[in-house]
Amino acid sequence: MKKQTLRTTAVGAVNGRMTRARVAALHTSEEIIASESSRQSKQQDQNHTSQVKPKRAMSDGNGSAAKYAPAKRNKKTALQDVTNVLCSSLHKDCFNVTNILARNGKKVGKAPVKVSKVIKSASAEVLKPQSDLSEKTTTETVANELGSETGLQIIEHEEDTSSRLSSARCTKTNSQLAKDCSVTSSKNQAEKGSVHEISTISEKPQVTDIDSDQKDPLLCSLYAPDIYSNLRVTELLRRPCCNFMDTVQKDITQSMRGILIDWLVEVSEEYKLYPETLYLTVYLIDWFLSQNYIERRRLQLLGITCMLIASKYEEICAPRVEDFCFITDNTYTREEVLKMESQLLNYFGFRIFTPTTKTFLRRFIRAAQALYVSPSLELEYLADYLTELTLVEYEFLSFLPSLVAASAVFLARWTLDDSRHPWNPTLEFYTSYKASDLKTTVSALQDLQSNAKECPLSAIRIKYRQQKFKSVALLTSAKIHEALF
Protein backbone atom coordinates (compact mmCIF):
# COMPACT_ATOMS: atom_id res chain seq x y z
CA MET A 1 0.00 0.00 0.00
CA LYS A 2 2.87 2.30 0.84
CA LYS A 3 4.64 1.47 -2.41
CA GLN A 4 1.53 2.17 -4.41
CA THR A 5 1.14 5.56 -2.73
CA LEU A 6 4.68 6.54 -3.44
CA ARG A 7 4.32 5.56 -7.03
CA THR A 8 1.17 7.58 -7.43
CA THR A 9 2.82 10.59 -5.89
CA ALA A 10 5.78 10.28 -8.20
CA VAL A 11 3.70 10.02 -11.31
CA GLY A 12 1.34 12.75 -10.20
CA ALA A 13 4.26 15.10 -9.65
CA VAL A 14 5.06 15.11 -13.39
CA ASN A 15 3.43 18.16 -15.05
CA GLY A 16 3.82 19.46 -18.53
CA ARG A 17 5.45 17.90 -21.61
CA MET A 18 7.20 14.53 -21.34
CA THR A 19 10.82 14.65 -22.61
CA ARG A 20 13.57 12.08 -22.68
CA ALA A 21 15.26 13.68 -19.70
CA ARG A 22 12.08 13.54 -17.68
CA VAL A 23 11.53 9.85 -18.61
CA ALA A 24 15.07 8.96 -17.52
CA ALA A 25 14.60 10.81 -14.24
CA LEU A 26 11.29 9.05 -13.70
CA HIS A 27 12.87 5.57 -14.14
CA THR A 28 15.59 6.48 -11.67
CA SER A 29 13.04 7.51 -9.02
CA GLU A 30 11.09 4.26 -9.49
CA GLU A 31 14.21 2.16 -8.89
CA ILE A 32 14.92 4.09 -5.70
CA ILE A 33 11.35 3.51 -4.46
CA ALA A 34 11.52 -0.22 -5.26
CA SER A 35 14.78 -0.67 -3.38
CA GLU A 36 13.42 1.24 -0.42
CA SER A 37 10.25 -0.87 -0.27
CA SER A 38 12.21 -4.15 -0.44
CA ARG A 39 14.40 -2.96 2.42
CA GLN A 40 11.30 -2.17 4.52
CA SER A 41 9.71 -5.60 3.86
CA LYS A 42 12.92 -7.34 4.96
CA GLN A 43 12.92 -5.30 8.15
CA GLN A 44 9.28 -6.31 8.86
CA ASP A 45 10.11 -9.99 8.38
CA GLN A 46 12.95 -9.69 10.83
CA ASN A 47 10.67 -8.04 13.41
CA HIS A 48 8.08 -10.83 13.00
CA THR A 49 10.76 -13.48 13.47
CA SER A 50 11.97 -11.84 16.64
CA GLN A 51 8.41 -11.83 18.02
CA VAL A 52 8.00 -15.58 17.50
CA LYS A 53 10.94 -16.34 19.75
CA PRO A 54 10.03 -17.42 23.33
CA LYS A 55 9.88 -14.83 25.99
CA ARG A 56 12.46 -14.49 28.69
CA ALA A 57 12.00 -16.85 31.56
CA MET A 58 10.17 -15.56 34.62
CA SER A 59 12.10 -15.18 37.83
CA ASP A 60 10.56 -16.42 41.05
CA GLY A 61 11.03 -14.87 44.44
CA ASN A 62 14.27 -16.74 45.13
CA GLY A 63 15.93 -15.43 41.99
CA SER A 64 15.84 -18.74 40.12
CA ALA A 65 14.46 -18.65 36.61
CA ALA A 66 11.78 -21.08 35.51
CA LYS A 67 11.11 -21.56 31.85
CA TYR A 68 7.52 -21.48 30.75
CA ALA A 69 6.74 -22.77 27.31
CA PRO A 70 3.48 -21.74 25.69
CA ALA A 71 0.77 -24.29 26.49
CA LYS A 72 -0.45 -26.30 23.53
CA ARG A 73 -4.16 -27.05 23.22
CA ASN A 74 -4.61 -30.69 22.38
CA LYS A 75 -7.93 -32.23 21.48
CA LYS A 76 -9.44 -34.52 24.09
CA THR A 77 -9.37 -38.13 23.15
CA ALA A 78 -12.74 -39.86 23.16
CA LEU A 79 -13.48 -41.84 26.34
CA GLN A 80 -10.36 -40.41 27.98
CA ASP A 81 -10.01 -40.96 31.72
CA VAL A 82 -11.22 -37.73 33.27
CA THR A 83 -11.05 -38.87 36.89
CA ASN A 84 -8.84 -37.22 39.44
CA VAL A 85 -6.65 -40.31 39.69
CA LEU A 86 -4.27 -39.88 36.73
CA CYS A 87 -0.99 -41.48 35.77
CA SER A 88 2.02 -40.81 37.97
CA SER A 89 3.72 -38.67 35.31
CA LEU A 90 0.96 -36.09 35.51
CA HIS A 91 0.80 -35.79 39.30
CA LYS A 92 3.50 -33.13 39.48
CA ASP A 93 1.80 -31.01 36.85
CA CYS A 94 -1.60 -31.34 38.47
CA PHE A 95 -0.46 -30.46 41.98
CA ASN A 96 2.22 -27.87 41.16
CA VAL A 97 1.52 -24.90 43.40
CA THR A 98 2.88 -22.37 40.90
CA ASN A 99 0.64 -23.69 38.13
CA ILE A 100 -2.41 -23.67 40.38
CA LEU A 101 -1.85 -20.10 41.50
CA ALA A 102 -1.21 -18.95 37.94
CA ARG A 103 -4.37 -20.73 36.78
CA ASN A 104 -6.45 -19.00 39.43
CA GLY A 105 -5.17 -15.60 38.35
CA LYS A 106 -2.99 -15.01 41.41
CA LYS A 107 0.48 -13.52 41.27
CA VAL A 108 3.31 -16.00 41.35
CA GLY A 109 5.71 -14.68 43.85
CA LYS A 110 7.19 -15.77 47.11
CA ALA A 111 5.06 -18.36 48.74
CA PRO A 112 4.39 -18.20 52.48
CA VAL A 113 7.07 -19.70 54.63
CA LYS A 114 4.85 -22.49 55.91
CA VAL A 115 3.74 -23.58 52.44
CA SER A 116 7.21 -23.47 50.95
CA LYS A 117 8.52 -25.46 53.89
CA VAL A 118 5.95 -28.17 53.41
CA ILE A 119 6.65 -28.35 49.69
CA LYS A 120 10.39 -28.64 50.18
CA SER A 121 10.25 -31.27 52.90
CA ALA A 122 7.38 -33.37 51.65
CA SER A 123 7.70 -33.07 47.89
CA ALA A 124 7.87 -36.85 47.58
CA GLU A 125 4.73 -37.45 49.66
CA VAL A 126 2.35 -34.53 49.40
CA LEU A 127 2.29 -34.53 45.61
CA LYS A 128 -0.03 -37.50 45.40
CA PRO A 129 -3.46 -38.18 43.86
CA GLN A 130 -6.57 -36.85 45.55
CA SER A 131 -7.20 -40.23 47.13
CA ASP A 132 -4.06 -39.77 49.21
CA LEU A 133 -5.11 -36.21 50.00
CA SER A 134 -8.45 -37.48 51.28
CA GLU A 135 -6.58 -39.96 53.44
CA LYS A 136 -4.54 -37.06 54.84
CA THR A 137 -7.80 -35.25 55.65
CA THR A 138 -8.97 -38.39 57.44
CA THR A 139 -5.65 -38.41 59.29
CA GLU A 140 -6.22 -34.88 60.51
CA THR A 141 -9.72 -35.77 61.69
CA VAL A 142 -8.57 -38.90 63.50
CA ALA A 143 -5.67 -37.00 65.04
CA ASN A 144 -8.00 -34.28 66.31
CA GLU A 145 -10.44 -36.81 67.76
CA LEU A 146 -7.87 -39.05 69.39
CA GLY A 147 -5.62 -36.19 70.46
CA SER A 148 -2.57 -37.91 69.03
CA GLU A 149 0.52 -35.82 69.63
CA THR A 150 2.35 -37.48 66.75
CA GLY A 151 -0.49 -36.70 64.32
CA LEU A 152 -0.68 -33.08 65.44
CA GLN A 153 3.06 -32.71 65.16
CA ILE A 154 3.00 -34.04 61.62
CA ILE A 155 0.13 -31.76 60.57
CA GLU A 156 1.44 -28.59 62.14
CA HIS A 157 5.19 -28.91 61.58
CA GLU A 158 5.78 -31.61 58.92
CA GLU A 159 9.54 -31.36 59.18
CA ASP A 160 10.80 -34.86 59.88
CA THR A 161 10.46 -37.00 56.74
CA SER A 162 10.94 -40.37 58.39
CA SER A 163 8.35 -39.73 61.10
CA ARG A 164 5.90 -38.47 58.49
CA LEU A 165 6.30 -41.65 56.41
CA SER A 166 5.67 -43.92 59.39
CA SER A 167 2.71 -41.81 60.49
CA ALA A 168 1.32 -41.90 56.97
CA ARG A 169 1.36 -45.70 57.04
CA CYS A 170 -0.41 -45.78 60.40
CA THR A 171 -2.88 -43.17 59.19
CA LYS A 172 -3.63 -45.14 56.06
CA THR A 173 -4.33 -48.23 58.13
CA ASN A 174 -6.58 -46.29 60.53
CA SER A 175 -8.47 -44.61 57.71
CA GLN A 176 -8.97 -47.93 55.96
CA LEU A 177 -10.29 -49.47 59.18
CA ALA A 178 -12.58 -46.51 59.75
CA LYS A 179 -13.81 -46.76 56.17
CA ASP A 180 -14.49 -50.47 56.49
CA CYS A 181 -16.30 -49.93 59.80
CA SER A 182 -18.47 -47.17 58.31
CA VAL A 183 -19.36 -49.28 55.27
CA THR A 184 -20.23 -52.24 57.49
CA SER A 185 -22.39 -50.14 59.81
CA SER A 186 -24.21 -48.51 56.90
CA LYS A 187 -24.86 -51.92 55.37
CA ASN A 188 -26.21 -53.22 58.64
CA GLN A 189 -28.52 -50.23 59.04
CA ALA A 190 -29.78 -50.47 55.46
CA GLU A 191 -30.44 -54.19 55.67
CA LYS A 192 -31.78 -54.19 59.22
CA GLY A 193 -35.38 -53.51 58.22
CA SER A 194 -35.53 -55.36 54.91
CA VAL A 195 -33.75 -58.50 56.10
CA HIS A 196 -35.57 -58.70 59.42
CA GLU A 197 -37.89 -61.37 58.07
CA ILE A 198 -35.03 -63.37 56.55
CA SER A 199 -32.92 -63.13 59.70
CA THR A 200 -35.87 -64.41 61.71
CA ILE A 201 -36.25 -67.27 59.26
CA SER A 202 -32.54 -68.08 59.49
CA GLU A 203 -32.97 -68.59 63.22
CA LYS A 204 -35.46 -71.35 62.32
CA PRO A 205 -33.78 -73.53 59.68
CA GLN A 206 -36.89 -75.64 59.15
CA VAL A 207 -38.92 -72.64 57.92
CA THR A 208 -38.99 -72.22 54.14
CA ASP A 209 -38.66 -68.67 52.83
CA ILE A 210 -41.56 -68.10 50.43
CA ASP A 211 -40.40 -64.56 49.56
CA SER A 212 -36.98 -65.53 48.22
CA ASP A 213 -38.16 -65.44 44.61
CA GLN A 214 -38.05 -61.80 43.58
CA LYS A 215 -38.20 -62.33 39.81
CA ASP A 216 -41.97 -61.94 39.58
CA PRO A 217 -42.87 -58.30 40.38
CA LEU A 218 -46.53 -59.24 40.92
CA LEU A 219 -45.59 -61.22 44.03
CA CYS A 220 -44.15 -58.11 45.74
CA SER A 221 -41.71 -60.40 47.54
CA LEU A 222 -39.70 -57.51 48.89
CA TYR A 223 -42.70 -55.84 50.55
CA ALA A 224 -44.96 -58.83 51.25
CA PRO A 225 -43.96 -59.30 54.92
CA ASP A 226 -44.63 -55.65 55.73
CA ILE A 227 -47.88 -55.63 53.75
CA TYR A 228 -49.35 -58.63 55.55
CA SER A 229 -48.16 -57.40 58.93
CA ASN A 230 -50.15 -54.23 58.26
CA LEU A 231 -53.16 -56.25 57.13
CA ARG A 232 -53.12 -58.22 60.37
CA VAL A 233 -53.54 -54.96 62.23
CA THR A 234 -56.16 -53.63 59.81
CA GLU A 235 -58.42 -56.67 60.19
CA LEU A 236 -58.95 -55.76 63.84
CA LEU A 237 -60.41 -52.39 62.86
CA ARG A 238 -63.93 -51.69 61.57
CA ARG A 239 -65.08 -55.25 62.02
CA PRO A 240 -68.83 -55.90 61.81
CA CYS A 241 -70.56 -56.86 65.03
CA CYS A 242 -71.20 -60.55 65.53
CA ASN A 243 -74.58 -60.05 67.25
CA PHE A 244 -76.29 -57.35 65.16
CA MET A 245 -79.21 -59.70 64.40
CA ASP A 246 -80.16 -59.61 68.06
CA THR A 247 -79.36 -55.96 68.82
CA VAL A 248 -80.05 -53.94 65.65
CA GLN A 249 -82.15 -55.92 63.19
CA LYS A 250 -85.74 -56.78 64.05
CA ASP A 251 -87.27 -57.49 60.62
CA ILE A 252 -84.67 -59.86 59.19
CA THR A 253 -83.16 -63.09 60.49
CA GLN A 254 -79.95 -65.10 60.13
CA SER A 255 -81.53 -67.39 57.56
CA MET A 256 -82.59 -64.41 55.43
CA ARG A 257 -79.01 -63.19 55.44
CA GLY A 258 -77.84 -66.66 54.39
CA ILE A 259 -80.38 -66.82 51.56
CA LEU A 260 -79.24 -63.40 50.28
CA ILE A 261 -75.57 -64.38 50.25
CA ASP A 262 -76.30 -67.74 48.63
CA TRP A 263 -78.15 -65.88 45.85
CA LEU A 264 -75.27 -63.42 45.45
CA VAL A 265 -72.93 -66.38 44.85
CA GLU A 266 -75.08 -67.29 41.86
CA VAL A 267 -75.03 -63.67 40.66
CA SER A 268 -71.24 -63.57 40.84
CA GLU A 269 -71.09 -66.77 38.79
CA GLU A 270 -73.54 -65.33 36.27
CA TYR A 271 -71.45 -62.21 35.67
CA LYS A 272 -68.10 -64.02 36.14
CA LEU A 273 -66.93 -61.77 38.95
CA TYR A 274 -63.71 -62.20 40.88
CA PRO A 275 -63.85 -64.03 44.23
CA GLU A 276 -62.55 -60.86 45.91
CA THR A 277 -65.73 -59.08 44.76
CA LEU A 278 -67.92 -61.65 46.50
CA TYR A 279 -65.96 -61.46 49.76
CA LEU A 280 -66.02 -57.67 49.76
CA THR A 281 -69.77 -57.67 49.04
CA VAL A 282 -70.50 -59.83 52.08
CA TYR A 283 -68.30 -57.63 54.24
CA LEU A 284 -70.11 -54.44 53.15
CA ILE A 285 -73.49 -56.04 53.85
CA ASP A 286 -72.53 -57.10 57.38
CA TRP A 287 -70.85 -53.80 58.07
CA PHE A 288 -73.98 -51.85 57.14
CA LEU A 289 -76.32 -54.17 58.99
CA SER A 290 -74.22 -53.86 62.15
CA GLN A 291 -75.45 -50.33 62.83
CA ASN A 292 -78.33 -49.65 60.43
CA TYR A 293 -81.82 -51.02 60.63
CA ILE A 294 -83.25 -52.22 57.32
CA GLU A 295 -86.61 -53.59 56.31
CA ARG A 296 -87.07 -57.01 54.87
CA ARG A 297 -88.25 -55.78 51.47
CA ARG A 298 -85.09 -53.71 51.04
CA LEU A 299 -82.64 -56.46 51.97
CA GLN A 300 -82.17 -57.58 48.36
CA LEU A 301 -81.66 -53.95 47.31
CA LEU A 302 -78.88 -53.73 49.90
CA GLY A 303 -77.28 -56.89 48.48
CA ILE A 304 -77.14 -55.80 44.83
CA THR A 305 -75.99 -52.30 45.76
CA CYS A 306 -73.11 -53.66 47.86
CA MET A 307 -72.13 -55.92 44.97
CA LEU A 308 -72.28 -52.93 42.61
CA ILE A 309 -69.89 -50.99 44.86
CA ALA A 310 -67.56 -53.98 45.28
CA SER A 311 -67.55 -54.53 41.51
CA LYS A 312 -66.50 -50.95 40.90
CA TYR A 313 -63.68 -51.44 43.36
CA GLU A 314 -62.40 -54.88 42.31
CA GLU A 315 -63.45 -55.49 38.72
CA ILE A 316 -61.92 -54.15 35.53
CA CYS A 317 -65.30 -54.02 33.78
CA ALA A 318 -68.02 -53.79 36.42
CA PRO A 319 -71.62 -54.70 35.54
CA ARG A 320 -73.97 -51.80 34.89
CA VAL A 321 -76.72 -50.65 37.21
CA GLU A 322 -79.29 -51.94 34.72
CA ASP A 323 -77.74 -55.42 34.92
CA PHE A 324 -78.33 -55.59 38.65
CA CYS A 325 -81.86 -54.32 38.20
CA PHE A 326 -82.45 -57.01 35.59
CA ILE A 327 -81.09 -59.77 37.83
CA THR A 328 -83.74 -58.85 40.43
CA ASP A 329 -86.45 -59.12 37.76
CA ASN A 330 -86.73 -55.32 37.82
CA THR A 331 -87.95 -55.34 41.39
CA TYR A 332 -85.94 -52.15 41.97
CA THR A 333 -85.52 -49.25 39.60
CA ARG A 334 -82.27 -47.62 38.56
CA GLU A 335 -83.02 -44.56 40.69
CA GLU A 336 -83.56 -46.67 43.80
CA VAL A 337 -80.22 -48.45 43.31
CA LEU A 338 -78.36 -45.17 42.82
CA LYS A 339 -80.02 -43.64 45.87
CA MET A 340 -79.07 -46.69 47.95
CA GLU A 341 -75.52 -46.50 46.62
CA SER A 342 -75.21 -42.89 47.74
CA GLN A 343 -76.52 -43.78 51.18
CA LEU A 344 -74.06 -46.65 51.58
CA LEU A 345 -71.02 -44.68 50.40
CA ASN A 346 -71.80 -41.83 52.77
CA TYR A 347 -72.08 -44.28 55.63
CA PHE A 348 -68.84 -46.03 54.68
CA GLY A 349 -67.10 -42.71 54.28
CA PHE A 350 -65.93 -43.99 50.87
CA ARG A 351 -63.53 -46.32 52.71
CA ILE A 352 -64.29 -49.58 50.98
CA PHE A 353 -61.24 -51.80 51.36
CA THR A 354 -60.77 -54.29 54.16
CA PRO A 355 -58.67 -57.46 54.43
CA THR A 356 -61.04 -60.37 53.86
CA THR A 357 -60.54 -64.10 54.25
CA LYS A 358 -59.50 -64.34 50.61
CA THR A 359 -56.75 -61.76 51.19
CA PHE A 360 -55.03 -63.94 53.80
CA LEU A 361 -55.86 -67.21 52.10
CA ARG A 362 -53.74 -66.31 49.09
CA ARG A 363 -50.60 -65.97 51.22
CA PHE A 364 -51.32 -68.95 53.43
CA ILE A 365 -51.78 -71.19 50.39
CA ARG A 366 -48.40 -70.04 49.11
CA ALA A 367 -46.84 -70.99 52.44
CA ALA A 368 -48.60 -74.37 52.40
CA GLN A 369 -47.20 -75.18 48.95
CA ALA A 370 -43.64 -74.14 49.80
CA LEU A 371 -42.43 -77.74 50.08
CA TYR A 372 -44.38 -78.98 47.05
CA VAL A 373 -42.55 -79.71 43.83
CA SER A 374 -45.42 -78.21 41.82
CA PRO A 375 -48.40 -76.13 43.01
CA SER A 376 -51.43 -78.16 44.02
CA LEU A 377 -54.59 -76.75 42.46
CA GLU A 378 -56.68 -79.21 44.42
CA LEU A 379 -55.39 -77.77 47.68
CA GLU A 380 -56.14 -74.24 46.53
CA TYR A 381 -59.68 -75.01 45.33
CA LEU A 382 -60.50 -76.97 48.47
CA ALA A 383 -59.37 -74.09 50.71
CA ASP A 384 -61.45 -71.67 48.60
CA TYR A 385 -64.46 -73.93 48.93
CA LEU A 386 -64.19 -74.13 52.71
CA THR A 387 -63.81 -70.38 53.14
CA GLU A 388 -66.78 -69.60 50.88
CA LEU A 389 -68.92 -71.91 52.99
CA THR A 390 -68.25 -69.62 55.94
CA LEU A 391 -69.72 -66.60 54.10
CA VAL A 392 -73.22 -67.99 54.44
CA GLU A 393 -72.90 -68.86 58.13
CA TYR A 394 -73.65 -66.00 60.51
CA GLU A 395 -71.73 -67.63 63.39
CA PHE A 396 -68.39 -67.23 61.60
CA LEU A 397 -68.54 -63.44 62.04
CA SER A 398 -67.02 -63.99 65.47
CA PHE A 399 -63.77 -65.31 63.92
CA LEU A 400 -61.06 -63.17 62.40
CA PRO A 401 -60.58 -63.52 58.61
CA SER A 402 -56.96 -64.61 59.07
CA LEU A 403 -58.02 -67.29 61.55
CA VAL A 404 -60.65 -68.64 59.14
CA ALA A 405 -58.10 -68.71 56.30
CA ALA A 406 -55.54 -70.56 58.40
CA SER A 407 -58.15 -73.09 59.53
CA ALA A 408 -59.24 -73.69 55.93
CA VAL A 409 -55.64 -74.49 54.94
CA PHE A 410 -55.33 -76.82 57.94
CA LEU A 411 -58.49 -78.75 57.04
CA ALA A 412 -57.69 -78.82 53.31
CA ARG A 413 -54.27 -80.39 53.94
CA TRP A 414 -55.81 -82.89 56.33
CA THR A 415 -58.52 -83.78 53.79
CA LEU A 416 -56.02 -84.42 51.00
CA ASP A 417 -53.46 -86.26 53.14
CA ASP A 418 -54.31 -87.52 56.63
CA SER A 419 -51.11 -89.56 56.93
CA ARG A 420 -49.06 -86.63 58.21
CA HIS A 421 -49.61 -83.59 60.37
CA PRO A 422 -51.31 -80.79 58.38
CA TRP A 423 -49.41 -78.03 60.17
CA ASN A 424 -45.70 -77.30 59.88
CA PRO A 425 -43.24 -74.61 61.06
CA THR A 426 -43.53 -72.69 57.75
CA LEU A 427 -47.31 -72.32 58.12
CA GLU A 428 -46.98 -71.47 61.78
CA PHE A 429 -44.44 -68.77 60.95
CA TYR A 430 -46.40 -67.08 58.15
CA THR A 431 -49.86 -67.41 59.71
CA SER A 432 -48.73 -66.57 63.26
CA TYR A 433 -51.11 -69.30 64.49
CA LYS A 434 -50.21 -72.48 66.27
CA ALA A 435 -52.20 -75.64 65.70
CA SER A 436 -53.80 -75.25 69.12
CA ASP A 437 -55.20 -71.84 68.09
CA LEU A 438 -57.16 -73.41 65.23
CA LYS A 439 -58.97 -76.14 67.11
CA THR A 440 -62.40 -74.46 67.44
CA THR A 441 -62.47 -73.02 63.93
CA VAL A 442 -61.31 -76.25 62.28
CA SER A 443 -64.01 -78.21 64.06
CA ALA A 444 -66.68 -75.76 62.88
CA LEU A 445 -65.32 -75.91 59.33
CA GLN A 446 -65.40 -79.70 59.29
CA ASP A 447 -69.07 -79.57 60.28
CA LEU A 448 -69.75 -77.30 57.30
CA GLN A 449 -67.78 -79.59 55.00
CA SER A 450 -69.78 -82.64 56.04
CA ASN A 451 -73.00 -80.57 56.05
CA ALA A 452 -73.82 -81.78 59.52
CA LYS A 453 -76.67 -79.28 59.85
CA GLU A 454 -78.02 -80.21 56.40
CA CYS A 455 -78.12 -76.61 55.18
CA PRO A 456 -80.45 -76.22 52.17
CA LEU A 457 -78.31 -73.45 50.66
CA SER A 458 -76.45 -75.25 47.92
CA ALA A 459 -75.10 -72.60 45.54
CA ILE A 460 -71.51 -72.90 46.81
CA ARG A 461 -71.62 -76.70 46.87
CA ILE A 462 -72.94 -76.88 43.31
CA LYS A 463 -70.28 -74.39 42.19
CA TYR A 464 -67.38 -76.47 43.54
CA ARG A 465 -68.73 -79.76 42.23
CA GLN A 466 -67.71 -78.66 38.76
CA GLN A 467 -64.74 -80.26 37.09
CA LYS A 468 -62.97 -76.91 36.64
CA PHE A 469 -62.68 -76.79 40.45
CA LYS A 470 -61.47 -80.42 40.63
CA SER A 471 -64.84 -81.38 42.22
CA VAL A 472 -63.49 -80.58 45.68
CA ALA A 473 -67.03 -80.28 47.09
CA LEU A 474 -67.32 -84.08 46.88
CA LEU A 475 -64.30 -84.67 49.14
CA THR A 476 -64.70 -85.59 52.77
CA SER A 477 -62.18 -85.51 55.60
CA ALA A 478 -61.34 -88.05 58.26
CA LYS A 479 -62.09 -87.34 61.87
CA ILE A 480 -59.59 -84.92 63.39
CA HIS A 481 -57.77 -86.30 66.41
CA GLU A 482 -57.14 -84.25 69.48
CA ALA A 483 -53.46 -85.08 69.19
CA LEU A 484 -53.16 -82.82 66.12
CA PHE A 485 -53.65 -79.78 68.31
**H-helix or E-strand spanning residue 59:** strand 58-59
Pair (364, 484) in one structural domain:
yes
Contacts of residues 261-267 at CB distance under 8 Å and 24 or more positions apart, as own/partner, are 261/285, 261/303, 261/391, 261/392, 262/392, 262/457, 262/458, 262/459, 262/460, 263/300, 263/303, 263/459, 264/303, 264/307, 265/388, 265/391, 265/459, 265/460, 265/463, 266/459, 267/304, 267/307, 267/327
- Domain membership of residue 189 (yes or no) is no
In the prediction, which pLDDT does 210 show? 86
pLDDT score recorded for residue 386: 96
Residue 148 in domain: yes
Structural domains of the chain, count: 3
Is the residue at 219 inside a domain?
Answer: yes
Tell whether 350 and 362 lie within a shared domain. no
Residues 385 and 485 in one domain: yes
At residue 25, the pLDDT reads 65
Per-residue pLDDT of the chain (485 residues), as tens digits, is 444 444 444 444 445 566 666 666 666 555 555 555 666 665 655 555 444 444 444 444 444 444 444 444 444 344 344 444 444 444 444 444 445 444 444 444 444 444 333 333 333 343 344 444 444 444 444 444 444 444 434 334 444 444 444 444 444 444 454 445 444 444 444 444 433 443 445 455 688 888 887 777 877 888 888 999 999 999 998 889 989 999 999 999 999 999 999 999 999 999 999 999 999 999 999 999 999 999 999 999 999 999 999 999 999 999 999 999 999 999 999 999 999 999 999 999 999 989 999 999 999 999 999 878 778 899 999 999 999 999 999 999 999 999 999 999 999 999 998 888 999 999 999 999 999 999 999 999 999 999 877 888 899 999 999 999 999 999 998 888 888 88
User: In this structure, are 360 and 229 located in the same domain?
Assistant: yes
Question: Is there a domain that residue 310 lies in?
Answer: yes
Whether residues 345 and 429 share a domain: the answer is: no
CB contact set of 485 (below 8 Å; sequence gap of 6+): 435, 436, 438, 439
- Whether 329 and 436 map to the same domain: the answer is no
Predicted pLDDT of residue 20: 66
SS3 content of the chain, % helix, strand, coil (to 5): 65, 0, 35
Q: Is 391 among the domain residues?
A: yes
pLDDT of residue 185: 45
Same domain, residue pair 363 and 432: yes
* End residue of a domain, out of 354, 370, 393: 354
Q: Which pLDDT belongs to residue 95? A: 42
In angstroms, what CA-CA distances link 423 with 15, 364, 438?
A: 133, 11, 10
Secondary structure letter of residue 66 according to DSSP: E
Residue 129 belongs to a domain: no
In a domain, 368, yes or no: yes
Task: Check whether residue 279 and residue 316 sit in a common domain.
Answer: yes
d(CA 162, CA 197): 53
Let me know if residue 27 belongs to a domain: no
Which residue among 287, 319, 354 closes a domain? Answer: 354
Q: Within this chain, do residues 333 and 481 fall inside the same structural domain, yes or no?
A: no
Segments forming the whole domain that contains residue 152: 134-160
pTM above 0.75, yes or no: no
Task: Quote the pLDDT of residue 19.
Answer: 66
**151/265 same-domain check:** no
Kindly report the CATH number assigned to the domain that includes residue 276.
Answer: 1.10.472.10
Residues 458 and 446 in one domain: yes
361 in the same domain as 342: no
Final residue belonging to a domain, choices 327, 354, 381: 354
